Every structure is written in structure tokens, then in C-alpha cells.
Structure 1
Amino acid sequence: MSEISPTGNPQRWRGRYLDAAGLFVPGRLRQDAALRARAENVVNAALMAATAGPFYALVYWLLDLRKAAAEILACCLVMLLAPPVLRYSGSIVAARELFLCALFFNFSWLTWHLGGSDAPTASWLVTAPVVAMFLGGVASGVFWLVMSCLAAGAIWGLPALGLARPPAPTVDMQLLHLVCDLGLYVVLLVFVLLFELTKTEGFVKLQKALSTINELAIRDELTGSHNRRFLLGLVDREKERSDRNGRPFCLCLFDLDFFKRINDTYGHAAGDAVLRAFAGAVQGQIRATDAFGRYGGEEFLLMLPETPAPDATVLAERVRRVAAALCCRHEGMDIGMTVSVGVAEYRLGEAAAAAIARADQALYLAKSLGRNRVQCHDADQRQPVLARDAAPHGGSRPADARLAQGAQCDQLTGLLNRSLLRDRLRHAMDRARRNRRLVALLLLNINRFKEINDELGYEAGDALLSQAGATIRATLRDSDTVARWGGDEFVALLEDLAFESDAQLVAEKVLDRFGLPMRVGAHECCMTLAVGVALYPAADCDLDALLKRADIAMRDAKRLGENGVVVYTGDTAQPQSERLALKNGLREALTQGQFFLEYQPQFDLAEQRVMGVEALLRWQHPVYGRVAPSSFIALAEETGMIVPIGDWVLRTACRQHRAWREAGLPEIELAVNLSARQLKEPGLAGRVLAILVETGMSAHCLDLEITEGMLIDDLAANCALMNGLRGAGVLVSIDDFGTGYSSLNYLSELPVDILKMDALFVRRLGDGQAGRSFAIAELIVGMAHRLGLRVIAEAVELPEQLADLAAMGCDAAQGYLFARPLPPGEIAAMLARQADPAPQPEPSFD
């Protein structure tokens, strides 16, 4: 097959033409998709007329119609002025009407001078309303239709009123009719094709942007593998298939050993290279039907459809060996790696999260046994054991089994021991924060166990402890963890709970099982329990605090009597800490003026000026000094203080904006962040508008920044809220765009004006326009512009990043490259210098 040369590629020439036409469209008009399309159509029409007009003038010249040829050329020159008028005035209406006036005059003059109603150009009078319809819509089309009808009537009726028409030219009129008719057909067709080209190109760019954003929604940008959310969706779908057809599937959870050490030794860039190298190595080992992705941090999850545990363990061992032999080269350094693997086979009817939890249990055992090994969660036992299909380091399986037993098991009950439980608990708490699901810790104490020991002896007591442990284990789910805490106490760890009440129901279920007597030799013993329950996530709670809370609740349960359950509520006083001091000091900080605002400038990249500022909350604590927002914003959310603090921020920022305006400084936009708690607070829109009235700030200058996730949590209610605010003139921004949901279905519904491109995308820029990161950011900008949204890039720190953003048409940016967050006085000085007509070097970004 012959290849089309680059110079003959229609797509290439179409792109060049559109790029050239786009030079006449001002940057302000490019921000709105509808305005940009109309502006491009005006340019298309003018360029087409400038191209076709001289050919028709030549035809008329050859037919000895010299005056008509000169008139056509003069009108073409006027039409050709439309793009410069558009470029320098920024007015689509002025450019369009200039073009249409010249077009209308051209064919009216020709018709009058070439024979009136019988003139070959009489039918050309239809071009003005047709073109006006494309360029300006219905109103413009109707206006020029009326004008064309009036012109046709005047050309026909004026001779009857005594106005002499110029004599008809002595040329072959039939030939002139043919030329004019053919020309009309061609011109109308070319007009339609040009307008269709503009529309199609816009849809093509939008489709590319949508495809890329869809890809971002399912891919981890660093490794190119599936991201966590999409991967978990695949696991859920495979679970449904497995439940229908009864075929097993397996999950393999990979963890790069000592990854933190790699980051600390070689740097985060090297750590990223190691993650990419490992992901690429795994993808080279798996089947097309397998699903592989990044689960979080240095953890990866592999789903193997229709694969039993033995086959999955063999594959996991092969991946482990490949990883061990892999050498990642980064900036002249060779970095080796090893990986620990946990394997679990899905059990019909269980939750997908339970299967992942069992793979996680196996992974933790593999790490506790020395790492760089594969561990399989045995399908016939409650706790993970060493995979039977692999002995990673060549050691004998019985020796490894004994090592596993000693590492994880209580010798009396066979349950996990205290040490491994803490590891499990720490990891469960991490998952709970990540997945926004509850973890419950149950501390179960056998009542009056000393009496049993004293009466029946220690051997009978040990037998009862063993039976008690087995009963608790049998009552809970396979994914739950049970351990002997010490003496007559057991701990149960319940993950992935939806409601706080679920933990109490499970505790009561355990108590019901202990209602039956237990036999020890010839004796029957009835045992009762006291159960303390502590839940996580919870305020001011780490691992040790969670254990302490469960112990407090258990002691309260013992005071209640036989078979009591108490859920920790926080009523018991806890030791004071810095976190608690900050939490308790929020109200005092608000009333005593410890809060203050700084403002980070936002720069318009096209006009190289400050176009807005973002208000940022700061806290100067009398004891702890300047407190980082990351340390107290979450506390304000927990306590509900974020609502009055948020109102204070908005009121203070609006007053400052009004003060800048009264000082004669230029009008700028003011961005203020809204929190999730504020969005849920009734009457938010009314309070915002009341503050605007109170402070005298213009609504169109206020920009409320909200993250994607917050908007989507209650989409219908939030859309109604945002529509109300936008109806009053307030702007709405999506903050941190690209790292939350980034769902195009949601994006098309959200009533917003601005996208703030997250720092994640900006930090990866700076390598020029050939990189993948540039392409992704450019598509986000293009998509936003097609949707009529502006784009502000966050955290711009390098000139190379700024150059890339300017090249892709990003509207504005903020970051340390321009200015750090500044006090109000320095912002005022910056705006004053900007308003000074004398040239100032500061706003320039070159």
C-alpha cells in the first residue's frame, strides 16, 4: 500500500487552516465554545470570499465587464477587513456586519447594473441571509433576509418610478447566467463545508479530551496500570460472574519490600521509576483477561479470573522471581527490588472486600516471615498459612510452617498472638481511612474466669480458653481477625462495617453463642463475657488509643453484670494532647482574633496581569505559634467550627476586596474555599448572598472553590445550591480537578465556571510539548474551553511549567513562581504597580 505524504495529508492541511484561522480569534473569545465557533465562522467566510472573489473578478474582466470586476475586488477587500476587526476589537458583531454589508452591497450593485430582476446575479441576493444565519443565528438571518427582499423589490420597482437603470451589458448573457449559477452553487457548498469543518473539528477535539479524561478515570498516571477505583469495580463484576457460574478466581496482593528505604536513599523520582518498572514487569507476565492495577502506594492488586489458588500461587511466584531479577536503572544508579505476595481464592457468596482482606492477611504473614516470598491464604483454614506451591528461598516447608506458627499463633488457642494483631490492626486502620469504612475492635473478657481455674484446675481452664477462642472464631466472618490478647481476654477485629450498630450486633451474636454450656471432661461450665467495642475512624485516635478505648468500654461492660456490651462513646476523659488543645482552642481563636488571611495572586497568562487572588486561612496560636492549615482544618470539620470559621473567612475576604476597590485599585476576582461541612449546612446560599450585601462586594467578583468529591457526594442538592449562587452572579470553581472523580458524566452536569487544574498535573510539566503529561494537561484545557470553562493551574513553580501552560492556552495560573501567599498590604502594592501606566517588570512571566 502506498503511503500518503505528509504534505498531501488532508487532515494535516485542515489542521493548518484551522490554526491559521484561529490567529484572528482573541483569547477572550476562545474561552466560550459558542463564541469561539461564531468567531471562527466569520474568519472562514472572509477567507473564502477573499479566495473566491478574485476568480469571479477575473471572469467578469474577461467578459469585458471591467467596472463590475473592480467593484467585486473592492468588496472583497472590505470583506477581508473582517478578521483584523475581529482580532483587534474583539467584537464578533462588528466583524460580521462589516462582512455582510460588503456581501449585500456587492450583489445588490451587480444585480442593478447587469439587468435588474433578470440579471444573472439576482439569485445571489440569497447569500446574505444564508451566510448571516450561519454567522449570527436566526436574528441576523431574518434581518438580512428582510434587507435582501427589500433590495430585490427596489431593483424591480425603481424603473417603474422613473429611475433609469444602467443599460444591460452587451455580453453573452446565457454564458453569464451559467457562470453565476455555477458560482452560486459552489460558494454555498464551500460555505457549508467550512462551517461544518469548524464544528466537526471542535467535536473531534472534545471527543479526544473526553477519551483522555475517561482513560485518566481508570488508569494510574504513574504506572499506566488500572487505578484502585476501577480495579475494585472489576473485582466486584468478577465476583458476580463467579457467584453465577461457580468458577473460582484469585486475588494476588503485591507489596514492594522496603520501598520507603528506596525513596529515602535514592529519592522519590527513583521510587516512581521502580514502581513503573515493576508494573511493566507484571504486565508482561499476565494474560489479557487478567486485571492488574495499583492498589495504593507501593501495593498492587492482580485479579486472575477462573483461576484456582494453586495456579495463582505459581503465577505469583513467577512474578516474584521476575521482580527479584529486575534491575531498575535511574540516573546512572542500578536499583534492585523484591516483592512480597499474598494470595487468596474467592469463596462463593463472600464480599469482594473479604477476599481482598484475606489476601492482605496472607501478605502480612509473608512480610512477617522475612519478605520476598509468596503466601497463600489456605482455603480450608481460617488463618493464612505458607503457600504449599512454593518455598521461595529453598527452605523446607515443615520448617517454614513451624516458623509461621511461632510468628503468628498463640500456642494454647491457635489464634493470632498479640504481636501480629497489632500489625493487622494498624493496616486495617489505614484501609479504613482510605475506604471511608468503619473498623470495630472488640475486647472480650471472660467473667469470673479465676473461679473456674480455682475450682476445676488450670488444665480445665486452658481447655475452656481453647473452646472459647474456637467459638468466637466460628461466630465471625472469615475476613474478621481473632486473637488472644492475654489471660482470659480475646480481641476481634471487624473491618468494612457500614454502620456503628453493626459492631454491637456482632458482639451480641457472640454472646448468644456463649449461652450454651461448655463441657470440660465430666464438667459443664457456663461462661459469660464482657465486651467492649471501640470504633475507628474516630477523633484523636491512634492504634494505642483505640486499644485503650476498647479496654475502657470492656471495664464498663463488666460493671453492668453478666453478658454486657458497651460501645465507647468518648465520655471518659482522655489525656490532653496538642491535637486536643488545638481542637478545643478553635472557638477561642475565632473570638480572640487569632485567625488571619493571606492572599495568593492568580495571574492571567494572556494579559500578564493579576486577575484574582485566593484567600487562605492562617492561625497564629499563642502557644504553638503558626499552625499549618493541614493541622487544624480537619479539626474544624470534626467539631463543626468550620461553619462559623468559614463565614468569618468569607466576610473578612469580602471586606478586604471592598477596601481594595475603595482605594482605587483594579477590580479582581476573589476565590474562597468551601468545605464539605459548609455545603451540608442549611441556608448556605442565603448566608453567602447576605455577606455580599453586608460587605458591598460585587457578586461577579466572588469565586467559590469546591472539590469534585464534595459536589458529587449529593449531586442534585449541590447543583441546586450552585445554580442559585450562579444565578446571583457568583462564580463557582472545581478545585483540584483531575484527582477526584473526574467523571465526564458529572462534569457535564455540574454548574461551574472554572476548573482549577490540580498540582499533580502541573508538577509533571516542563519537558516540552512532546510528553504525555503535556498532552493530558492540554486535553483538560481544551475540554474545559469547549465546555465554556476557564482553567487556572495551581502550584506553578518553574518557568518551564509556565511555558507549557501558556503553549496549551491555559487561562491563568498561581504558585510560588509568581508569588507566595501575601498579606493584604502587599497585594494592594502589587495591584497599584499593575495599575501604574509606566512599564513594570514584575507582571512579566518571561
Structure 2
Amino acid sequence: MLPGAGYPLPNHPVADMALLYLACHLGLFVVVLVFALLFELTKTQGFVKLEQALGTINELAIRDELTGVHNRRHLLGLIDREKERSDRNGRAFCLCLLDIDFFKRINDTWGHSAGDTVLRAFAGTVQGLVRNSDSFGRYGGEEFLLMLPETPAADAMVLAERVRGAIEKLRCRESVGGSEIALTVSIGVAEYRMGEAVGLAVGRADEALYLAKSSGRNRVVCHGQGESPLALRADAPVMVQLADLGASVGRMLDGVHCDQLTGLLNRRLLRDRLRHAMDRADRNRRLVALLLLNINKFKEVNDALGYEAGDALLVQAGGIIRQCLRDCDTVARWSGDEFVALLEDLGGEGDARQVAEKILDRFGLPLHAGERECFVTLSVGVALYPAEDCDLDALLKRADIAMRSARAWGENTVQLYSSAVSEPQSERLALKNGLRDALARDQLFIEYQPQVDLATRRIVGVEALLRWQHPVYGRIDPGRFIPLAEETGMIVPIGDWVLRTACAQNRAWRDAGLPGVKTAVNLSARQLRHPDIAARVLEIVGDTGLPCGCLDLEITEGVLIDDLEANRAVMASLRAAGVLVSIDDFGTGYSSLNYLSELPVDILKMDGLFVRRLGHGGGQGLAKDGRARPYAIAEAIVAMAHRLELKVIAECVENAEQLGDLDAMGCDEAQGYLFHRPLPAEQVGALLARQAEQAAMLAA
């Protein structure tokens, strides 16, 4: 290198080596320096690219891929943060839910590419109208959500109306044929309420959006603060529309959308709301439950009390169902005696069943049919969505199938639709067929609930209660299998077996030296219609050797009035032989003092519905306390029975307060869990033996 540069090489070997080392060191230094510079440059560019990649990933995570606005997840996160700020500083914000009208028609007519063009144009137009502080995003499908921080409802309505007007003027050009696509938008507005969940606020905006769509679309509706919704017309200024609120609300709530009798939504509007709820359930994967509620034997109410009383009962029934639901739920009249409840945003099927049970409990109280009180029962079918192969009509059909299954099982029953639709019917058929074998295979048995004399607190009677231990389904509730026995006619041989077994057991207690008690046995409608029923009863009593005065036949008042003349003859024949006759469940049917004065009976059994409402101190302040009305009704039943020389037995006594009220009004006897649950014959015998021992000790 040196000669090439014009320098001669040194002549000394030592100097040559030193120079060589120097050259090597300089070369190595240059190489290291070059590599260091290259590495630093590469590292810087790598970090820049990495940062760019991370930014891109973050942008993709928060942006909707098609429209470029915020996606649902990120938008809800922004709303959550705004909620926290609002709860701290006390400044409310508004949510606007926007839905492109008839978007499905656009896809069907011009294709999905045109639909994508519409979505992008719509999102860009709205994004250009909102403030930098606002948050706008795609909520799902053709729905978009706009959050307006620190904005009251009135200002939000103005902005929403501005958006509606801009979208109405927007024209999107379809790519293939060049056709212009005109758009409109429906907008629901809701102002955040301090402390509420974001989901509830969005739900209220959705309710407002629903009203905007159902009242003609291309509208802005604000969810009122406990008032009727406020609707804005597309063809009038905002302030004029606010002044015209009454007319707008009246138009939304006219007979086109509401049932004329009950004021609830009608079938047409319910279908629209159900479709909307199902779309929302598909997005958020939360359950929707459809409850179909049927009033059992409503025709009998109309026939007995008249159509005006029936209409009054329907109005009350609709109001009661509405009171049992949340504000965000929907109730509608589906048909003459059927109502539908639509429950949204449920955590599981247990939530739906709980609501159904709550409604059934509320119908345990009497309703007013005109000037008279009337008890009604319901059958409730429940269908859930999302579910496989289920559209709107299929969901309604499933609720109907479940309701009919509930009605087949008995009154006040809830049935949940299952994908194995034949299963409930198969079980019911198995029970119907099994009833024929139950007697022969000793699956039926009797438990006895003691009846206590309130003056002495001694057991003076027992009620025989039929039970069934099924080999597959376990212990079957009487409310399920007794109606099946009535339906199949098996109630007649089963009734004979119950009567014979109960009478024989009473005779066995007496033969064992235990105190004599009466045994109450229920007589069904089908048994009572048997032409030789009086002779059959007396034959069984004679065969078992039981004194006739120790048998008490209980007959419900509804059964008695079906054929009053024939039943009166049967009861007269039995009483002439010394058999006692009771009217069971008194007060829950169509009670009439006229038939009560004519029928040959000995005892009234006050239904548990009256007894459960006692225990509130009603006897101490009839005029002052509204809770005293149940006491007054029960007291009137006791007084009336005593004037007719009848005894009164109160059912379902469960606490000392109820017992205190019954004592105060002079009730004769009572039964219930406060005293004893239904017991096997052996345990009843032990109670009677202990009672005899105590009586002997007191006598000594």
C-alpha cells in the first residue's frame, strides 16, 4: 500500500513489523466502526418499524375494519371511562344509537358490496358532524353508537337531528349499475343516569331507537326520564316538534300499536320488538326469554260473570304481569286470554323461571271481576333464544308448545321448552300409563295431616292425602298426577282405594285403643258424578267397620255447583247415614250464599289463601290498617258459617300470628305446618298415643 502511495518501505525489519501492526489495528478499528454504525442504523430503523407495527396492531384492535370508526369493544370501554368521570363530577352524558333504515333491503337489492359502500359513507358522514371529544363507533351490523360527553339530552337531540338531516341528504352510488342509493336513519337518545350500569343506559337508548323505528322510521326519539318518549318528526324544526310532544306520543300509542282493552302492546308491535331483541341477542350473546301466559278456564269467568267482568279481569291481569317485570322488559296481549312477556339480557334459564314463578305467586291473590273477587290460575310456557334452528316464528311456536305442556300438567305450572320436544309429553304419557299399574304395584300410599281443635289444641281429625312414589320419576307431586287420573278415569278406582284404606286405618287406630278421630277424604268431580257414589261410600264404610260419623268427605265448591240438584241429593243421602260433608277450598271459586244455604253440609274449610294473609294484627285496627281487610274477610267467613251452624277448619296455618288471628275470630279447627306436616300412619298413631297419655295424666 505504501509504495503505491509514493512512500518507500523501511529497510529495518523491526520497523517493518511495527508498521504492519499499526496498519492492522487501523483496519480493524475501521471495520468495527463501520459495523457499529450499520448496527445502530439498523436498530433505529427496526425500532421505528416495530413501533409502526404496534401502532397498526393497536389501530386494528380499536377500529372497525370496514368503516374505520371505533369498534364495539373499544367504544364500550370509552363509555365506561366516561361513566366513571360522570359519576365523579356529576355531569351526565348522552348516548345515541343509530340504525340505518331498511339496510337489509339495500343488501338484497344491490348486493353486499353496495351495503359496504353505504356503511362507509354513513360512518364518514356522521364522523364529520361530531366533535373531537365525542366517540363514535360501529355497534354491530347497521347499528352505530355515538357518545356525547358532558351533553344534556336537549343538546344531544339537536345534534342527532342534524345527523338525521345530513343522512337524509346523503346519496351513495352503487358501483355496478351506478344507481344512487338514498338513506334515512332512526336514532334513539338516552341521557346517562348517575350510578347506572352502561348496559342499562345503552338499553334505554335502544328502547328509544325501537320507538323511532316503530313510529315510522327516519326519526329521533329521546328516552324520557320517567315520562312518555319524545319523538321528533323529520319534516319540522326541533323546537316545533318539542312543542308538539303530546300529538307525537298519541300517534305512537294509538290502536295501531296498542291493545285497545289493556293498553299493552299488541301482537303486531310485539313481533317487531321481538325481532329487534333477537338481533341484539345475536350480538351480545345474552339470553332472551319469551313467556307465553295463558289464563286457565277464562271462558268460565265470562260465562259465569259476564263479558264486562271478564274484560276487567284481563285489564288487571295485564297490569299484574307488567308489575312483575323490569322496566326494560316487554309485555303484550297476544290473544283473548293470553299474554306474552319478553325478557332480555338474562344470565340463564333460571332467571326466566324465577320471573315466571314470581308472576304465578302474584296471581295467588284474588282479582276483581266487576264487583266480585275471582281467583284465576295461569299456565306459563318459556322459550329461550339464541337457540339452534330458531327464528322468530319458531320461537313463538316453542313458547306455545311449552305453554300447552304446562297446561296439560295442571294449573299454575311453568314449563320450559326443550330441544327434545317430545320429552315432556313422553313423561306425561308414562305417568298416565303408570297410573294403571300404580295400585297393583303398591306405588300409591297415604299420608295424614292432623287437624287440631283450637279450643283444646288436641288432634280431633286427620286429612288423608294421596301420594305416589314412581319407580323412575320418584315422588310425583299430586298436582301433576291427580289431573291425569281425572282425565283417564283412573280417579274412580284410585278414589275407592283411598277411601277404603283411610277408613281401615282409622278403624285400626280405634282398635288399638287410641282416641277416636275423624278422617277427611277428598271426593273428586268424577267420583261425585258416579250414579251410585253414595251407595259405594256407605258400602266401604260398612266393610271397614268405621262409624259413619268418623268419615268426613271433602268436596270443592266448584265441583258442587256443576250439578247442584244431583249433588244435593247425594250429600243428603250421605248425611242421613251420619257421614260428615265439608266444602273444601271455600272462597276460591264462585262462592254463593244461595247454594250454601241450600246444600246439606257440616263443615267449611277456609282456603289457605285467606289464612296466609292473616297475622298482621288486623283484629286490632280494622279501620286504620289496610292489612286488616284479609282479617275482616276471614272473620266474616267464620261468623257466617257459625250462623249457619257449620264448623270452620282453617288450612295452611304456618305461624303463631295466623293462629292468634284464627283464635280471635273463633275458628273451630285448623291444620298446617305450625302443628304437623303430613305424616305416615305410624307417626300419627304415636301422636294420638302421646295425646291419650297426657289426657290421662291431667285426669289423674
Residue 517 of structure 1: how far off its partner (Å): 3.5
Q: 1:188 maps to which residue?
A: 32
Q: Secondary structure at the match of 1:408?
A: coil
Amino acid at match of 2:123: A
Q: 2:184 maps to which residue?
A: 338
Amino acid at match of 2:361: D
CA separation of 1:237 and 1:567: change in aligned 2, threshold 3 A: farther
Q: Does 1:427 align with 2:276?
A: yes
Summarize deviations over 1:41-64 as a string: whole Å, max 9, x none: xxxxxxxxxxxxxxxx5x784374
Q: Distance between the aligned counterparts of 2:81 and 2:314, measured in 1?
A: 41
Q: Secondary structure at the match of 2:14?
A: coil
Q: Distance between the aligned counterparts of 2:259 and 2:193, measured in 1?
A: 26
1:33-48 map, 5 Å: none
1:470-509 map, 5 Å: 470-509=319-358
Q: Does 1:370 align with 2:224?
A: no
CA separation of 1:543 and 1:259: change in aligned 2, threshold 3 A: closer
Q: Does 1:284 align with 2:133?
A: no
Amino acid at match of 1:510: I
1:597-746 map, 5 Å: none
Q: 1:249 maps to which residue?
A: 93
Residue 309 of structure 1: how far off its partner (Å): 2.6
Q: What is the aligned length? A: 417
Q: Does 1:318 align with 2:162?
A: yes
Q: 2:251 maps to which residue?
A: 403
Residue 440 of structure 1: how far off its partner (Å): 0.8
CA separation of 1:310 and 1:493: change in aligned 2, threshold 3 A: same
Q: Distance between the aligned counterparts of 1:194 and 1:527, measured in 2?
A: 89
Q: Distance between the aligned counterparts of 1:357 and 1:268, measured in 2?
A: 29
Residue 397 of structure 1: how far off its partner (Å): 4.6
Q: Does 1:213 align with 2:213?
A: no
Q: Distance between the aligned counterparts of 2:312 and 2:46, measured in 1?
A: 77
Residue 201 of structure 1: how far off its partner (Å): 2.6
Residue 212 of structure 1: how far off its partner (Å): 0.6
Q: Secondary structure at the match of 1:62?
A: coil
1:751-762 map, 5 Å: none
Amino acid at match of 1:370: G
Structure 1 contact 378–387 (Cα < 8 Å) conserved:
no
Q: Distance between the aligned counterparts of 1:346 and 1:564, measured in 2?
A: 39
Q: Please, which runs of 5 or more residues in structure 1 have no aligned partner?
A: 1-56, 67-113, 116-165, 575-846
2:5 to 41, 49, 62: 62
Structure 1 contact 361–384 (Cα < 8 Å) conserved:
no
Q: 1:201 maps to which residue?
A: 45
Structure 1 contact 444–489 (Cα < 8 Å) conserved:
yes
CA separation of 1:345 and 1:449: change in aligned 2, threshold 3 A: farther
Q: 2:316 maps to which residue?
A: 467
Q: Secondary structure at the match of 2:339?
A: strand
Residue 535 of structure 1: how far off its partner (Å): 0.8
Q: Secondary structure at the match of 2:129?
A: coil
2:73 to 217, 221, 229: 229
Residue 425 of structure 1: how far off its partner (Å): 1.3
Q: CA RMSD in A?
A: 3.3
1:536 to 370, 385, 388: 385
Q: Distance between the aligned counterparts of 1:307 and 1:452, measured in 2?
A: 54
Q: Secondary structure at the match of 2:92?
A: coil
Summarize deviations over 1:5-54 as a string: whole Å, max 9, x none: xxxxxxxxxxxxxxxxxxxxxxxxxxxxxxxxxxxxxxxxxxxxxxxxxx
Structure 2 contact 230–245 (Cα < 8 Å) conserved:
no
Amino acid at match of 1:425: L
Amino acid at match of 1:421: L
Normalised by the size of structure 2, how large is the TM-score?
A: 0.54
Structure 2 contact 332–340 (Cα < 8 Å) conserved:
yes
Q: Distance between the aligned counterparts of 1:416 and 1:523, measured in 2?
A: 27
Q: Secondary structure at the match of 2:289?
A: strand
Amino acid at match of 1:257: D
Structure 1 contact 250–307 (Cα < 8 Å) conserved:
yes
Summarize deviations over 1:99-131 as a string: whole Å, max 9, x none: xxxxxxxxxxxxxxx99xxxxxxxxxxxxxxxx
Structure 2 contact 230–248 (Cα < 8 Å) conserved:
no
Summarize deviations over 1:373-422 as a string: whole Å, max 9, x none: 112222214x7553599957988554433331133222222221111111
Residue 439 of structure 1: how far off its partner (Å): 1.2
Q: Does 1:306 align with 2:131?
A: no
Q: Distance between the aligned counterparts of 1:232 and 1:442, measured in 2?
A: 30
Amino acid at match of 1:253: L
Amino acid at match of 1:372: N
Residue 167 of structure 1: how far off its partner (Å): 2.1
Residue 278 of structure 1: how far off its partner (Å): 1.9
CA separation of 1:409 and 1:553: change in aligned 2, threshold 3 A: same
Q: Mean Cα displacement is larger for which, 515-524 or 415-424?
A: 515-524
Q: 2:558 maps to which residue?
A: none
Q: Distance between the aligned counterparts of 1:558 and 1:244, measured in 2?
A: 52
Q: Please, which runs of 5 or more residues in structure 2 have no aligned partner?
A: 424-700
Q: 2:397 maps to which residue?
A: 548
1:339-358 map, 5 Å: 339-358=185-204
CA separation of 1:270 and 1:560: change in aligned 2, threshold 3 A: closer
CA separation of 1:63 and 1:473: change in aligned 2, threshold 3 A: farther
CA separation of 1:451 and 1:384: change in aligned 2, threshold 3 A: farther
Residue 334 of structure 1: how far off its partner (Å): 4.2
Q: 2:13 maps to which residue?
A: 167
Q: Secondary structure at the match of 2:291?
A: strand
Residue 186 of structure 1: how far off its partner (Å): 4.5
1:807-846 map, 5 Å: none
Q: Distance between the aligned counterparts of 2:94 and 2:408, measured in 1?
A: 46
Q: 1:835 maps to which residue?
A: none
Q: Secondary structure at the match of 1:471?
A: helix
Structure 1 contact 412–466 (Cα < 8 Å) conserved:
yes
Structure 1 contact 314–390 (Cα < 8 Å) conserved:
no
Q: 1:386 maps to which residue?
A: 231
Residue 216 of structure 1: how far off its partner (Å): 0.9
Summarize deviations over 1:431-461 as a string: whole Å, max 9, x none: 2223222111111122333333344433333
Q: Which has the higher contact order (CA 8 A, sep 6+)?
A: 1
Residue 514 of structure 1: how far off its partner (Å): 3.0
Q: Secondary structure at the match of 1:425?
A: helix
CA separation of 1:347 and 1:486: change in aligned 2, threshold 3 A: farther
Q: Distance between the aligned counterparts of 2:360 and 2:31, measured in 1?
A: 88
Q: Secondary structure at the match of 1:482?
A: strand
Normalised by the size of structure 1, how large is the TM-score?
A: 0.45
Summarize deviations over 1:336-368 as a string: whole Å, max 9, x none: 322111222334454433333332332233223
Structure 2 contact 379–403 (Cα < 8 Å) conserved:
yes
Q: Distance between the aligned counterparts of 1:208 and 1:200, measured in 2?
A: 12
Structure 1 contact 374–392 (Cα < 8 Å) conserved:
no
1:6-155 map, 5 Å: 61-62=4-5, 64=7
Q: Distance between the aligned counterparts of 1:226 and 1:307, measured in 2?
A: 20
Amino acid at match of 1:319: V
Structure 1 contact 310–389 (Cα < 8 Å) conserved:
no
Structure 1 contact 373–392 (Cα < 8 Å) conserved:
no
Amino acid at match of 2:64: D
CA separation of 1:387 and 1:523: change in aligned 2, threshold 3 A: farther
Amino acid at match of 2:231: L
Q: Secondary structure at the match of 1:470?
A: helix
Q: Distance between the aligned counterparts of 1:455 and 1:60, measured in 2?
A: 132
Amino acid at match of 1:304: L
Q: 2:583 maps to which residue?
A: none
Q: Distance between the aligned counterparts of 2:252 and 2:152, measured in 1?
A: 23
Amino acid at match of 1:386: A
